[in-house]
Structure formats: structure tokens, C-alpha cells
């Protein structure tokens, strides 16, 4: 018994001694250290005053914000789990149908499969286009939503006219359009 109780500490000491770090070799003083000659290309400049958006909608149709110039565009970040988002959907749909000078695009800001989103929209249909946004790589021209819903009103000339954090009504959008006046 005594031999066993002594052998354990000796084995541990031998094993720990084998785990010591060997010193790293030093470079001779005449060694030349390479420096990179190329730098990474600069990140593309993002114009938040005149945002861009190119995305495929749920039905596979390409959507390019620039091709919708001349109209007011409501860009609505939302999610199926967001109660205020769901509540504002009928109002946004009514706004989209009522105003000939405006349209809505819904950006589902969540990790969801297209079939699951289609099933959700079967129960809560809207007439405006819906696209799924990658939450790990949202559109760079818009600030990452700090909360949902997050809605941006884009003027006919492409400039960001107003942003809304939280639920928005058709009356809110009408008022923002009236206050903005004609696009410059």
C-alpha cells in the first residue's frame, strides 16, 4: 500500500517534468523581417443618406431600391416573432395599396427558412414584397436595427427621409411624406 501511495506522486512529477515548454529559438540579429507589401482593399463606402438595397424577395424576384426611384419607399425590418411587427402589417398593407406614389418592402430580419415564412404569410398575407435578411450580414446601407420593427422612409429622389423605431402607422407615414414635401 505504501509503495502505491508513493508511486502516484512520482509518476505525476515525471509527467509534469515532460510538459515543460522549450524555449523558442531566437532570430539572429541579421535576420530580415518581411513586411506586407499589399494592404487589404478599403471597404466600400456606404451612403446612409441615399441607401441602396438589392435583395431577392421570397418569390425569387430581384428587388433593387434604385429601380423604384420616383416613388416613396417604405423599408420595413420586421420578424414573425415580433408582436408589434405583426400588428402593423395590415396597416402597411393598406398604405401600400392606397398610395399610388408609395410602396412597401418588408425585410424579415430573423433566421427563418423560406417555407416557414411562406406558411406565416399564408396566415397573415400582405400584398407588398417580402425578403429574408441575413441577420449576420444585414444590408450595409441601413443601420443594423436596434429593435423591431424598424422602418425607413425613402424619398422619391433616393434620400433617407425618416426612420421609425417601433410600430408605424399609415398616418405616421402620410404625415412624414407631407412634412418632407416634394423630393429635391
Residue 51 lies in a domain: no
Residue 10 lies in a domain: no
What are the cell numbers at 17? 517534468
Question: How far is it, in rounded angstroms, from Cα 25 to Cα 108?
Answer: 55
Supply the pLDDT for residue 61: 97
Residue 98 lies in a domain: yes
Supply the pLDDT for residue 49: 83
DSSP assignment of 99-138, as one string?
-TTEEEEEEEES---HHHHHHHHHHS--SS-EEEE-TTS-
Supply the pLDDT for residue 17: 42
Residue 60 lies in a domain: no
Supply the pLDDT for residue 23: 43
Q: Name residue, grid cell 422619391.
A: 156
**H-helix segments, 19-155:** 83-98, 114-123
Residue 54 lies in a domain: no
Question: How far is it, in rounded angstroms, from Cα 116 to Cα 168?
Answer: 25
Residue 15 lies in a domain: no
What is the tally of structural domains in the chain?
Answer: 1
Give the structural domain span for 129: 71-179
Q: Per residue of the chain (184 residues), what is the pLDDT tens digit?
A: 554 554 544 444 444 343 333 444 444 444 444 444 444 444 445 556 889 999 999 999 999 999 999 999 999 999 999 999 999 999 999 999 999 999 999 999 999 999 999 999 999 999 999 999 999 999 999 999 999 999 999 999 999 999 999 999 999 999 999 999 875 5
Residue 85 lies in a domain: yes
What are the cell numbers at 169? 402607422
Question: How far is it, in rounded angstroms, from Cα 135 to Cα 100?
Answer: 31
The answer to whether 78 and 106 are in contact (CB under 8 A) is: yes
The answer to whether the bond into 149 is cis (omega within 30° of 0) is: yes
Residue 83 lies in a domain: yes
CATH number, domain of 136, equals 3.40.30.10
Amino acid at each position: 500500500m505504501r509503495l502505491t501511495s508513493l508511486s502516484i506522486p512520482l509518476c505525476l512529477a515525471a509527467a509534469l517534468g515532460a510538459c515543460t515548454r522549450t524555449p523558442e529559438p531566437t532570430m539572429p540579429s541579421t535576420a530580415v523581417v518581411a513586411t506586407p507589401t499589399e494592404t487589404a482593399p478599403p471597404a466600400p463606402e456606404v451612403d446612409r443618406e441615399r441607401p441602396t438595397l438589392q435583395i431577392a424577395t421570397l418569390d425569387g424576384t430581384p428587388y433593387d431600391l434604385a429601380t423604384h426611384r420616383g416613388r416613396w419607399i417604405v423599408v420595413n425590418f420586421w420578424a414573425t416573432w415580433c408582436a408589434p411587427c405583426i400588428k402593423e402589417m395590415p396597416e402597411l398593407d393598406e398604405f401600400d395599396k392606397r398610395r399610388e406614389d408609395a410602396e412597401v418592402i418588408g425585410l424579415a430580419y430573423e433566421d427563418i427558412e423560406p417555407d416557414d415564412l411562406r406558411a406565416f404569410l399564408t396566415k397573415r398575407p400582405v400584398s407588398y414584397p417580402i425578403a429574408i435578411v441575413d441577420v449576420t450580414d444585414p444590408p450595409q446601407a441601413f443601420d443594423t436595427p436596434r429593435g423591431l420593427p424598424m422602418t425607413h422612409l425613402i424619398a422619391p429622389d433616393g434620400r433617407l427621409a425618416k426612420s421609425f423605431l417601433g410600430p408605424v402607422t399609415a398616418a405616421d407615414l402620410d404625415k412624414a411624406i407631407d412634412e418632407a414635401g416634394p423630393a429635391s
